[in-house]
Amino acid sequence: MPASVMRGQTIEFALSSVDLTSLGSPRSTTVTPRVTGSSATFAPIPVTNGTANVSLTFPVDATPQSTIELTVAPGGTTVVVPIQVAAGQTGPIPPTTTPVPATDEQLLAELEGLISVPSPNLVAGETVVITVGTQYAGQWVTVWLHSTPTQVGGWYQVAADGTITVTLPVGVSGSHRLVVLDASGNVIGWSSVALSVPPATGLPASGALPKTGADASWLGGVTMLALLLIGAGVIARVRPQRRS
């Protein structure tokens, strides 16, 4: 049994010696888990030869100081196991709580640089990889831009290599602090970045077509010469020849 667990994490352990027939209790058939303070329910776990192999995914609404209660049937004996719930959350389902930005007072100087981006100079609307740290792998986090807190996307689950991939909002520029929070709203780290507006695409500002590298001015001269020659030929055909 681990000393602590994260919300959404699956823990496995064996609960043995649940048969108390020597004390006059009937032979145990199932063990039903419950996490105190949580609304989650769990299916009964069969008991085989006096042992129940418990596999329990910790609920997202578990409190920091939780207790696992294991009720044995049909005897009714309850085994109580205290457990610490860590701040982060893992698992395939993101938290259901509404993210709240950190205050400026929470962006401590010692937290600067604990998360990193490929470059401090970023472009609005581009996709970037933020390194959070492998110690947060599997946990759910949120990303914010400060000074006026603006959430970047929704919940992100940290990959096994300790990174998340986010798309920066468009229409944002200037100097900002990029902040990453864990599922409980604690600041994991922040980094100073400068966002610029992406360059405009399409026609040049003058409205002229872009150059292709070839100068077509000679075509005008050739065309004019051809017209003169054609005109001269027409005149030659209609002008009668003089007799000598």
Identify the pLDDT of residue 25: 67
Token pair of 169 as six digits: 């909002």
Identify the pLDDT of residue 125: 94
- Residue 189 in contact with residue 111, Cβ under 8 Å? yes
Residues 116 and 85 grouped into a single domain = no
Single residue among 156, 180, 196 that ends a domain in this structure: 196
Amino acid at 66: S
Residues 73 and 116 grouped into a single domain = no
194 strand-pairing partners: 121, 175
Task: Say how many domains are in the chain.
Answer: 2
Residues 40 and 79 grouped into a single domain = yes
**Rounded to an integer, what distance in angstroms lies between the CA atom of residue 54 and that of residue 20?**
19
- Residue 222 included in any domain: no
Single residue among 42, 63, 89 that ends a domain in this structure: 89
Instruction: Encode pLDDT of 194-241 as tens digits.
Output: 999 988 765 443 343 433 334 444 445 544 544 444 554 544 444 445
Determine how many CB atoms are found less than 10 A away from the CB of residue 3: 8
- Residue 205 included in any domain: no
Q: Indicate whether 2 pLDDT > 90.
A: no
- Residue 242 included in any domain: no
pTM: 0.54
Q: Which helix (H) or strand (E) holds 224?
A: helix 217-238
Burial annotation 150-183 (CB, 10 A radius, 16+ → b, else e) = ebbeebbbbeeeebbebebeeebeeebbbbbbbb
**Rounded to an integer, what distance in angstroms lies between the CA atom of residue 171 and that of residue 124?**
7
- Residue 220 included in any domain: no
Residues 11 and 36 grouped into a single domain = yes
- Residue 131 in contact with residue 162, Cβ under 8 Å? yes
Specify the 3-state DSSP secondary structure of 150.
strand
- Residue 110 included in any domain: yes
| CATH code of the domain covering residue 41 | 2.60.40.10
Residues 84 and 157 grouped into a single domain = no
Residues 85 and 109 grouped into a single domain = no
Residues 109 and 188 grouped into a single domain = yes
Specify the 3-state DSSP secondary structure of 242.
coil
Residues 108 and 147 grouped into a single domain = yes
Identify the pLDDT of residue 20: 64
**Rounded to an integer, what distance in angstroms lies between the CA atom of residue 212 and that of residue 196?**
29
- Residues of the domain holding 112: 104-196
- Residue 12 in contact with residue 54, Cβ under 8 Å? yes
Instruction: Encode pLDDT of 29-50 as tens digits.
Output: 999 999 998 888 888 999 998 8
- Residue 232 included in any domain: no
Instruction: Encode pLDDT of 217-226 as tens digits.
Output: 444 554 454 4
The mean per-residue pLDDT over the stretch 54-81 comes to: 88
Token pair of 161 as six digits: 């290599």
- Residue 201 included in any domain: no
Q: Give me the half-sphere count of Cα atoms (radius 13 Å) on the Cβ side of residue 144.
A: 24
Residues 56 and 81 grouped into a single domain = yes
Identify the pLDDT of residue 210: 38
Identify the pLDDT of residue 5: 85
Instruction: Encode pLDDT of 141-185 as tens digits.
Output: 999 999 899 999 999 998 888 899 999 999 899 999 999 999 889
